[in-house]
């Protein structure tokens, strides 16, 4: 046998330490520039607004830094960020869930329905109606995501088509059920609404929890392996299917929180047109792509998109004729720019692919 | 003392194929054991039995004398058997330590947190003990292939492997990394680990292993100590003495020049030259065999001739006409048939039935094409006639290609190609993965074609096949012919040497088209493209 070879070859060292808050170095730089850019823009706006209080900049600064804009941003951001966090879990595991919109719709309706059945102010076994409403919304969304998971993982359906089906089913089913139970596609108003503080709290906790789950737990590692190289996970004896089911079900749970929060913050389900969810599930996908599958980035992107929407609404109220449809295209334009020019979003290698274990 | 691994009378049957036939294998603790054989000899199947991926049809797996039965690779891992696959099972964007502990992460806080420090420490401790130079925090995508292989070894060691199975461990390594791997073997065996590695390279088995077991056609044809055996003896064991065909298929009158290749260079998918300045000619009524270890440019040569790959330079003339720049369609129209080595990828559309597969390549020609539409009646008649003549089972033209066994798929392809009435047949590994009966049938068909005055270019890694069928035998090594020999007089040992890149200085050898061959170290034979070879 030949002697051990001289160790002349030095391994390439990863120059970046991975232990930072934002696991993965390119990711952290990316999120940092996103945050820095947003803060810089706000600072510029604030300064110019203070300097010229009667200008458009002044109005804009007034809106951006007003409490009402902040609270409506929190309301609008909740479904985007929560569904986006859910989308991260599904896609990291290798299942692209573009049915987030459908999950938001179904949970929005079911939460309002449950609240009206229990009766606002009543309680069942000491659980107040609004809490039951949340739980019901989460259950509905989780159930629908479970159907999606079975279809995609067990029966190996195309994930995109199955995801579209989830959206279309919810888009049809929620207004239909509303018509059956309430006589119209819009439910009557419950007369109560969940305060923005609750939405904000849920978003913060869900973001922090998701970050921990993804980066610090064994489950997070398995999730990532399932989406990047499922065979590697399978050969070390971890079931790829189980990990993927968990990822998709988590997307159902989180979207359920988001959809319920959206409907209950208004106290009504609006089922006309594209329903009250209005594409927030799709913007959620944009948000997590923009945030590069990092919960903190998703929070930032979601807040940014929701903030733009909130500002737009306020500007309309002040008489600026800004077409809302144009503002609503901003997230999509942003994601195209991000994906083509920046190109730093790292889509899991095996996302969208079925996995079958040998023998 | 009991051997660390004892495979006792292992037989593994797949429908229609016996992959392992009553194989015995005993491996001593702390030794390196090479499992040597050609592609399809049953090496990988045998190791999959040991690794719990397959259950043996008959026979017992014993570890340290204890009979064991594995339902899954997980059971094998728990019993201390680790497998390092040829294609690494690593998650590219994750770090070394994350990959090593994947699935067995040490946790704290009641499982809520992976104990990164403990995991890193375990990895560092293991790599220090075995002298691996691996940075636990490096990302897999950033490290070299040799280091990735060491990470795979660490993964197995972390899980408590005592026996390490490595499938073609050198296939993806550079010669220098191969040397480093041998050093790793030494470290591991010194500390009592047992290594079994699969190889089809003689030189590798001789230099790295203590003992060598040779498998041929699923049978253990001998276990020898590496110190007591010569390269020639090994080649003889690997290839076997018997030649399927009677070499008395006497040299016949050859006809006109059908194929003429001059100074041909072809690049592989990575842009590396795979065929270098090859020149040869092929006449009607002649079979030119091309022998060589897989991945030495045979595939690229066949693809260039048949029009599936562009040539880098040089000339290919077919019946006097230059084929360079001509399309695949042009060649089919001129009577060039092709039996591809990957039948499921290039030979058949697996989800088509045999009627549809039977017209592939002829879909523009009568009687199938009529006024812009296909005549399915004619197509079905054609498929049925191929099925009958070539004994394809089940005899059902409506059966989907994927429902057939490999041998029957191959018979159908051969039938389809031969029924085109070709002038030239390029047959790449026509009997790979095919059972013995079908193999002989396909050999007979090739000889019949030759008798009809057609030209055949036969590429095969089975030595007995190319030697038995060919009129002339060219041996290819790293894209060059190391020799063109008379198959009736050449010995297996001589072919083995030529395949390893060495040249012969024998007068009996006709050296028609040699371009500065030889001199290359045998450790590099095969090269990085070896992973194309698939064991049955």
**Average pLDDT of each block of 10 consecutive residues along chain B (536 residues)?**
87 82 91 83 87 89 89 87 88 93 90 91 92 89 87 93 90 75 91 90 85 89 88 75 45 78 88 88 91 84 91 90 88 90 85 89 82 86 90 84 81 89 90 70 87 90 82 89 87 79 59 37 37 37
Q: Given CB atoms, is B110 within the 8 Å cutoff of chain A? A: no
With 90 as the cut, is the pLDDT of residue A229 above it? yes
| Confidence category of residue A30, pLDDT binned at 50, 70, 90 | low
Contact B94 A231 (CB under 8 A): no
Same domain, B233 and B254: no
Instruction: Choose one of B239, B272, B291: the last residue of a domain.
Output: B239
The interface residues of chain B toward chain A in range 439-478, judged by CB-CB distance below 8 A, are none
A120 phi, psi to nearest 5 deg: -60, 135
Q: Does residue A300 form part of some domain?
A: no
Same domain, B171 and B76: yes
With 60 as the cut, is the pLDDT of residue A1 above it? no
SS3 of A128, please?
strand
Instruction: Using the structure block, give the residue that is written with the tokens 């395949």.
Output: B499
Q: Does residue A308 form part of some domain?
A: no
Q: Looking at the partner chain, which of A1, A218, A229 has a beta carbon nearest the beta carbon of B186?
A: A1
Same domain, B87 and B195: yes
Domain CATH for B438: 3.40.50.300
Same domain, B35 and B124: yes
Same domain, B17 and B30: yes
Q: Given CB atoms, is A218 within the 8 Å cutoff of chain B? A: yes
Q: Does residue A277 form part of some domain?
A: yes
Same domain, B212 and B126: yes
SS3 of B448, please?
helix
Q: Does residue A6 form part of some domain?
A: no
Q: Check residue A236 and give its pLDDT.
A: 87
Instruction: Choose one of B380, B401, B421: the last residue of a domain.
Output: B421
Q: Does residue A21 form part of some domain?
A: no
Q: Given CB atoms, is B95 within the 8 Å cutoff of chain A? A: yes
Domain that holds residue B45: 5-239
Contact B132/B124 with Cβ under 8 angstroms?
A: no
pTM listed for this prediction: 0.69
SS3 of B242, please?
coil
DSSP for B300-356 reads: HHHHHHHTSS--SEEEEEETTEE-TT--HHHHHHTTEEEE-S-IIIII--TTSBHHH
What does the longest C-alpha to C-alpha distance in chain A come to?
86
Cα–Cα dist B81/B63, whole Å = 9
Nearest CA in chain A to B143: A12
Contact B180 A2 (CB under 8 A): no
| Chain A interface disruption, residue of B89, B120, B178, most A CBs within 10 A | B89
Same domain, B282 and B350: no
Q: Does residue A133 form part of some domain?
A: yes
Mean predicted confidence (pLDDT) in A329-352:
74
Q: If we measure between CA atoms, which residue out of B94, B66, B89 comes closest to residue B79?
A: B66
Mean predicted confidence (pLDDT) in A326-339:
75
Same domain, B536 and B403: no
| Chain A interface disruption, residue of B44, B45, B70, B91, most A CBs within 10 A | B91
Q: Looking at the partner chain, which of A14, A217, A236 has a beta carbon nearest the beta carbon of B138?
A: A14
Q: Looking at the partner chain, which of B74, B92, B143 has a beta carbon nearest the beta carbon of A11?
A: B143
Question: Do the strands B373-374 and B369-370 form a parallel or antiparallel pair, or are they unpaired?
Answer: antiparallel
Q: Given CB atoms, is A18 within the 8 Å cutoff of chain B? A: yes
Chain A residues touching residue B135 (CB < 8 angstroms): 11, 13-14
Same domain, B249 and B103: no
Give the contacts of B330 (CB within 8 A, at least 6 positions apart).
B307, B323
Q: Does residue A66 form part of some domain?
A: no
Nearest CA in chain A to B185: A4
Q: What is the ipTM of this complex?
A: 0.79
SS3 of B456, please?
strand
Contact A139/A332 with Cβ under 8 angstroms?
A: no
Q: Looking at the partner chain, which of B74, B91, B184 has a beta carbon nearest the beta carbon of A232?
A: B91
Number of independent structural domains in chain A: 1
Domain that holds residue A283: 81-294
Contact B103 A18 (CB under 8 A): no
Q: Check residue A227 and give its pLDDT.
A: 94
Number of independent structural domains in chain B: 3
Cα–Cα dist B127/B136, whole Å = 9
DSSP for A5-43 reads: PP--PPPPPPSS-TTSSSSSHHHHHHHHHHHHHHHHHHH
Cα–Cα dist A246/A89, whole Å = 8
Q: Given CB atoms, is B91 within the 8 Å cutoff of chain A? A: yes
Same domain, B38 and B151: yes
A91 phi, psi to nearest 5 deg: -70, -35
Strands (E), chain A: 123-124, 127-128
- How close B408 comes to chain A (CA, Å)? 23
Same domain, B467 and B401: no
Q: Check residue A22 and give its pLDDT.
A: 42
Q: Check residue A4 and give its pLDDT.
A: 41
Q: Check residue B240 and give its pLDDT.
A: 65
The interface residues of chain B toward chain A in range 21-60, judged by CB-CB distance below 8 A, are 32, 53-54
Cα–Cα dist A257/A269, whole Å = 15
Q: Given CB atoms, is A242 within the 8 Å cutoff of chain B? A: no
Same domain, B77 and B220: yes
Contact B20/B184 with Cβ under 8 angstroms?
A: no
Instruction: Choose one of B223, B239, B255: the last residue of a domain.
Output: B239
Q: Does residue A179 form part of some domain?
A: yes
């Amino acid at each position: 046998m030949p002697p051990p070879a001289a160790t002349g070859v030095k391994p390439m060292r990863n120059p970046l330490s991975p232990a930072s808050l934002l696991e993965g170095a390119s990711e952290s730089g990316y999120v940092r520039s996103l945050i820095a850019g947003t803060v810089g823009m706000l600072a510029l706006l604030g300064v110019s607004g203070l300097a010229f209080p009667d200008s458009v900049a002044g109005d804009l600064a007034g809106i951006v830094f007003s409490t009402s804009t902040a609270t409506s941003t929190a309301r609008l951001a909740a479904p985007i960020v929560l569904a986006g966090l859910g989308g991260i879990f599904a896609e990291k595991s290798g299942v692209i869930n573009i049915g987030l919109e459908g999950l938001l719709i179904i949970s929005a309706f079911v939460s309002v329905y449950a609240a009206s059945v229990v009766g606002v102010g009543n309680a069942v076994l000491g659980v107040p109606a609004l809490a039951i409403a949340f739980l019901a919304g989460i259950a509905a969304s989780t159930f629908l995501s479970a159907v999606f998971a079975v279809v995609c993982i067990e029966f190996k359906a195309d994930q995109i088509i199955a995801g579209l089906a989830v959206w279309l089913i919810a888009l049809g089913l929620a207004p239909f059920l509303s018509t059956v139970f309430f006589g119209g596609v819009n439910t009557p108003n419950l007369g109560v609404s969940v305060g923005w503080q609750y939405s904000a709290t849920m978003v913060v906790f869900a973001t922090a929890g998701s970050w921990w789950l993804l980066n610090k737990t064994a489950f997070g590692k398995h999730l990532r392996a399932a989406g990047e190289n499922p065979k590697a996970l399978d050969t070390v004896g971890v079931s790829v299917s189980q990990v993927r089911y968990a990822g998709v079900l988590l997307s159902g749970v989180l979207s359920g929180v988001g959809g319920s929060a959206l409907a209950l913050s208004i106290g009504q389900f609006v089922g006309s047109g594209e329903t009250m969810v209005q594409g927030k599930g799709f913007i959620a996908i944009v948000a997590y792509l923009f945030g590069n599958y990092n919960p903190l980035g998703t929070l930032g992107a979601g807040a940014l998109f929701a903030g733009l929407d909130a500002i737009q609404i306020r500007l309309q109220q002040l008489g600026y004729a800004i077409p809302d449809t144009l503002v609503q295209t901003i997230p999509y334009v942003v994601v195209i720019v991000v994906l083509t020019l920046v190109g730093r979003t790292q889509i899991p290698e095996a996302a969208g692919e079925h996995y079958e274990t040998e023998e | 003392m009991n051997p660390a691994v004892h495979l006792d009378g292992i037989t593994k049957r797949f429908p229609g194929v016996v992959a392992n036939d009553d194989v015995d294998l005993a491996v001593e603790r702390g030794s390196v054991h090479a499992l040597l054989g050609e592609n399809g000899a049953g090496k990988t199947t045998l190791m999959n039995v040991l690794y719990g991926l397959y259950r043996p049809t008959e026979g017992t797996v014993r570890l340290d004398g204890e009979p064991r039965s594995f339902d899954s690779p997980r059971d094998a891992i728990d019993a201390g058997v680790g497998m390092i696959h040829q294609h690494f099972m690593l998650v590219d964007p994750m770090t070394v330590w994350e990959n090593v502990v994947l699935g067995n992460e040490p946790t704290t806080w009641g499982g809520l947190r992976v104990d990164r420090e403990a995991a890193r420490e375990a990895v560092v401790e293991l790599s220090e003990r075995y002298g691996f130079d691996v940075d636990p925090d490096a990302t897999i995508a950033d490290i070299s292939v040799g280091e990735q292989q060491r990470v795979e070894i660490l993964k197995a060691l972390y899980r408590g492997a005592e026996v390490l199975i490595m499938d073609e461990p050198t296939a993806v390594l550079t010669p220098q990394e191969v040397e480093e791997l041998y050093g790793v073997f030494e470290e591991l065996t010194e500390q009592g680990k047992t290594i079994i590695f699969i190889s089809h390279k003689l030189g590798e088995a001789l230099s790295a292993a203590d003992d060598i077991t040779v498998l041929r056609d699923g049978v253990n044809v001998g276990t020898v100590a590496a110190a007591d055996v010569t390269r020639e003896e090994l080649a003889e064991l690997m290839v076997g003495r018997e030649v399927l065909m009677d070499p008395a298929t006497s040299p016949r009158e050859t006809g006109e020049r059908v194929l003429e290749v001059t100074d041909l260079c072809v690049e592989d998918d990575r842009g590396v030259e795979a065929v270098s300045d090859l020149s040869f000619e092929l006449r009607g009524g002649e079979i030119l065999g091309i022998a060589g270890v897989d991945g030495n440019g045979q595939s690229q040569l066949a693809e260039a001739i048949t029009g599936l790959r562009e040539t880098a330079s040089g000339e290919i003339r077919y019946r006097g006409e230059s084929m360079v720049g001509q399309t695949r369609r042009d060649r089919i129209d001129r009577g060039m048939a092709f039996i591809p080595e990957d039948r499921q990828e290039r030979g058949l559309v697996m989800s088509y039935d045999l009627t549809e597969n039977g017209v592939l390549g002829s879909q523009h020609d009568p009687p199938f094409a009529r006024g812009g539409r296909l005549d399915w009646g004619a197509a079905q008649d054609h498929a049925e006639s191929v099925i009958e003549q070539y004994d394809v089972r089940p005899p059902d033209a409506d059966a989907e290609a994927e429902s057939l066994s490999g041998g029957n798929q191959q018979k159908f392809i051969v039938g389809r190609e031969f029924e085109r009435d070709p002038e030239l047949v390029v047959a790449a590994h026509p009997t790979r993965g095919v059972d013995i009966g079908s193999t002989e049938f396909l050999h007979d068909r090739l000889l019949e074609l030759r008798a009809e005055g057609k030209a055949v270019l036969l590429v095969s890694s089975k030595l007995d096949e190319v030697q038995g069928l060919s009129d002339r035998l060219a041996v290819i090594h790293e894209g060059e012919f190391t020799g063109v020999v008379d198959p009736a007089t050449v010995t297996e040992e001589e072919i083995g040497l030529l395949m390893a890149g060495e040249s012969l200085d024998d007068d009996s050898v006709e050296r028609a088209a040699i371009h500065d061959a030889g001199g290359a170290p045998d450790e590099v034979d095969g090269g990085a493209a070896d992973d194309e070879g698939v064991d049955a």
